[in-house]
Amino acid sequence: MRLNGEVSHKEEEEEGEKENGNLLPQKVVVVGYALTSKKKKSFMQPKFEVLARKKGIVFIAIDLNKPLSDQGPFDVVLHKMSGKEWCEVIEDYKQKHPEVTVLDPPDAIRHLHNRQSMLQNVADLDLSDCHGKVCVPRQMVIKKDPLSIPDEVFEAGLKLPLVAKPLVVDGTAKSHELFLAYDRFSLSKLEPPLVLQEFVNHGGVLFKIYIVGEAIKVVKRFSLPNVSKCELANVGVHSFPRVSSATASADDADLDPSIAELPPQPLLERLSRELRSRLGLQLFNIDMIREHGTRDVFYVIDINYFPGYGKMPGYEHIFTDFLLNLAPAT
């Protein structure tokens, strides 16, 4: 962290001074960020930037066309960019600048770019003493041949309906194109590589658990409705919209309490702590559903790196506190 006067961002400091009634923040934290334009728009909201500036945080957009080491100096680097080249840039920068906190390590982020590896750590957890059970839906990966899917699904004993998800998550709209498949034969129309995941009835409500370091914020979102017994006779693959990513929150909706009751806090805390340490990540969210008809059986269906924090209530304060409290890298 830099003390005032050590940084050459005079304009921002003067602005902070005015807004603070001549009270300068005790330290200035310089945060370089490399975000896609979509992510920049949703994350760098004016209200957030103003609050951060008042608290002594200076954001600087990293210029991808210039060497990273020639920019800054930074205290923290935030990034969500895909591509091997960028990972190499970040790895190289981390080695040359151990004093900078780089969030998060590319290798750890890569773990979430694959829908099979992203859930592995959840599958390995045992939270049975934590007011609930956290599982992952049964799933399988189809790497290549779509014509083999019906037999593979049968051999694996997966129960229909299945959610078909692109195996790789790379920030593109295509990687979020999902299908609900009612019969195994129609699955051969889909394009591998795919993950086929058992659909879990959950009453149409999903819990999004946002993690920012040690801070946890859980919100309710609308999700897919239950599949009834008679719908099981349906056939075909049906694409569905990004229902849970909509800005509309289910927090204020009049919902059946047995469906909408938030997961127990101790369970959320333990799950978040374990995943933070096992994944080696500070910035992510977890999509969790409650199995319909149960009180305490939960499934994690998705984990996202650097999700849409702009939609997280109070993100401005949570994020500024997080950045200010980051220990300087040693």
Ligand X SMILES: Nc1ncnc2c1ncn2[C@@H]1O[C@H](COP(=O)(O)OP(=O)(O)OP(=O)(O)O)[C@@H](O)[C@H]1O
Q: Near ligand I3S by CB under 6 A, which window of 141-149, 177-185, 251-259, 306-314?
A: 306-314
CB 201 within 8 A of CB 227: yes
Nearer to Mg ion, 306 or 315 (CB): 306
For 282, phi then psi, to 5°, come to -110, -20
**Residues 6 or more apart from 192 whose CB is under 8 A from it?**
142, 143, 144, 145, 146, 149, 167
Q: Select the residue interacting with ligand X from 16, 137, 192, 263 (CB under 6 A).
A: 137
* Residue 249 contacts ligand I3S per CB under 6 A: no
Per-residue binder mask for ligand I3S (CB under 6 A), 46-85, x = binder:
----------------------------------------
Two structure tokens written together for 35: 């975000």
Which residue from 12, 104, 274, 302 is in contact with Mg ion, where contact means CB under 5 A?
302
Per CB under 6 A, does 308 bind ligand I3S? yes
Q: Does residue 196 touch ligand X according to CB under 6 A?
A: no
For residues 80 and 86, give the distance between their C-alpha atoms in angstroms, rounded to a whole number.
10
For residue 130, CA distances in Å to 127, 221, 274, 298, 305 come to 5, 24, 12, 12, 25
Q: What is the sign of the dihedral through the CA atoms of 188, 189, 195 and 198?
A: negative
Shortest reach from residue 61's CB to ligand X, in Å: 24
Q: Which of 12, 75, 287, 316 binds Mg ion (CB under 5 A)?
A: 287
Q: Which of 39, 55, 79, 115 binds ligand I3S (CB under 6 A)?
A: 39
**Integer Rg of the chain from CA:** 22
Binding site for ligand I3S (CB under 6 A): 38-39, 42, 171, 208, 245, 285, 304, 307-308, 311
